[in-house]
């Protein structure tokens, strides 16, 4: 059976992955989560650059080496904070360390938008403004326009992980915009995997969340093309044949 490795910083919403595993079904690849070092839990640029540093990711990749068919750096802010070129170099180094195809949540978002034909989005971010603006710039570098940005200003992933279903639905709905073709929730510390269909029913459009797109990207890189129900529009849309 195929396996997909996820490098996940710290402990906040890692239980989204077993939730997703159950929803994907018995025929799906295994989702293997390895926790990477988080020397400081802070949505602050300097801390995020440290969380996503090559030495931290290489250590995680060594734990997964020869166990998986693809590996994902499951941290949005710890990838887009480097800018597009830096995030690309980060993924390249991760792939070399793991010896398998690699990507990150930031690129998973833009690849998912491309797959759904989405070019205008609303972003409902848990981050402080300055960090969220870097995500907007990253999306723009990949041809995705943000028509509305909303932020919660939460500093720690630990606090984000405490947000429950009703609050997550409220945040997504409040962050929507009539011109947005989809709403993006960019934090892998945010629980969403059990509520994706609820989110889309509430908003009436695709909702892309960090752990969702990370898993979709992993399936894509591992060559799994099976449509999956119960995990939003994206997972019902077979990944393209391109890696």
CATH number (domain holding residue 25): 3.40.50.12500
| Residue 148 maps to a domain | yes
94-148: per-residue pLDDT in tens? 999 999 999 999 999 999 999 999 999 999 999 999 999 999 999 999 999 999 9
| Residue 128 maps to a domain | yes
Cβ–Cβ contacts within 10 Å for residue 108, how many? 28
Examine the domain organization and report whether 32 and 51 are in the same domain: yes
Examine the domain organization and report whether 18 and 49 are in the same domain: yes
Q: What whole-number distance in Å separates Cα of residue 116 and Cα of residue 38?
A: 33
Q: Which of 25-29, 164-168, 207-211 has the lowest mean pLDDT?
A: 25-29
Residue 159 scores a pLDDT above 80: yes
Residue 193 scores a pLDDT above 90: yes
Examine the domain organization and report whether 95 and 148 are in the same domain: no
Number of domains in the chain: 2
Question: What is the separation, in whole angstroms, between the first and last Cα of the chain?
Answer: 20
Examine the domain organization and report whether 26 and 82 are in the same domain: yes
Residue 239 scores a pLDDT above 80: no
Choose among 193, 162, 183: nearest CA to 33.
193
1-44: per-residue pLDDT in tens? 799 999 999 999 999 999 999 999 989 999 999 999 999 999 99
Examine the domain organization and report whether 99 and 160 are in the same domain: no
Spell out the alpha helix ranges (H) of 83-153: 83-98, 105-116, 129-141
Q: What whole-number distance in Å separates Cα of residue 122 and Cα of residue 18?
A: 28
Q: What whole-number distance in Å separates Cα of residue 239 and Cα of residue 30?
A: 17
Q: Is 103 strand, coil or helix?
A: strand
| Residue 165 maps to a domain | yes
Examine the domain organization and report whether 33 and 99 are in the same domain: yes
Residue 243: the pLDDT is: 43
Q: Pull the structure tokens for residue 72.
A: 């994902």
Rounded to the nearest integer, the mean pLDDT of the chain is 94
pTM of the model: 0.95
Host domain of residue 165: 108-209
Residue 240: the pLDDT is: 60
Examine the domain organization and report whether 91 and 140 are in the same domain: no
| Section 56-79 average pLDDT | 92
Q: Is 92 strand, coil or helix?
A: helix
DSSP 15-54: THHHHHHHHH-TTSPEEEEEEEP-SS---SHHHHHHHT-H
| Residue 72 maps to a domain | yes
Element (H, E) at 125: strand 120-125
Residue 185: the pLDDT is: 98
Q: Quickly state the pLDDT bin for 62 (edges 50, 70, 90).
A: confident
Choose among 206, 59, 198, 38: nearest CA to 119.
206
Question: Of all residues in the chain, what percent carry a pLDDT higher than 90?
Answer: 91
User: Which residues lie across from 8 on neighbouring strands?
Assistant: 35
Examine the domain organization and report whether 130 and 192 are in the same domain: yes
Q: What whole-number distance in Å separates Cα of residue 214 and Cα of residue 106?
A: 9
Examine the domain organization and report whether 137 and 198 are in the same domain: yes
Exposure of 48 in the CB half-sphere (CA atoms within 13 A): 27
């Amino acid at each position: 059976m195929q396996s997909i490795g996820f490098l996940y910083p710290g402990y906040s919403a890692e239980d989204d992955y077993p939730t997703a595993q159950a929803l994907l079904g018995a025929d799906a690849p295994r989702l293997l989560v390895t926790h990477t070092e988080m020397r400081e839990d802070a949505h602050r640029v300097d801390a995020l650059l440290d969380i996503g540093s090559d030495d931290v990711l290489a250590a995680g990749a060594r734990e997964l080496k020869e166990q998986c068919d693809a590996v994902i750096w499951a941290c949005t802010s710890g990838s887009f904070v480097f800018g597009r070129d830096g995030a690309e170099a980060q993924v390249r180094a991760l792939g070399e360390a793991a010896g398998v195809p690699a990507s990150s949540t930031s690129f998973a978002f833009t690849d998912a938008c491309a797959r759904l034909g989405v070019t205008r989005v609303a972003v409902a971010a848990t981050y402080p403004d300055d960090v969220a603006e870097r995500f907007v710039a990253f999306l723009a570098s990949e041809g995705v326009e943000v028509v509305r940005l909303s932020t919660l200003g939460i500093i720690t992933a630990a606090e984000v992980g405490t947000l429950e279903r009703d609050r997550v639905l409220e945040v997504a709905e409040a962050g929507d915009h009539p011109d947005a073709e989809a709403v993006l929730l960019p934090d892998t510390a945010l629980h969403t995997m059990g509520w994706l269909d609820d989110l889309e029913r509430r908003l009436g459009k695709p909702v892309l969340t960090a752990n969702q797109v990370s898993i979709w990207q992993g399936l894509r890189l591992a060559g799994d093309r099976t449509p999956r129900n119960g995990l939003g529009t994206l997972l019902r849309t077979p990944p393209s044949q391109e890696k």
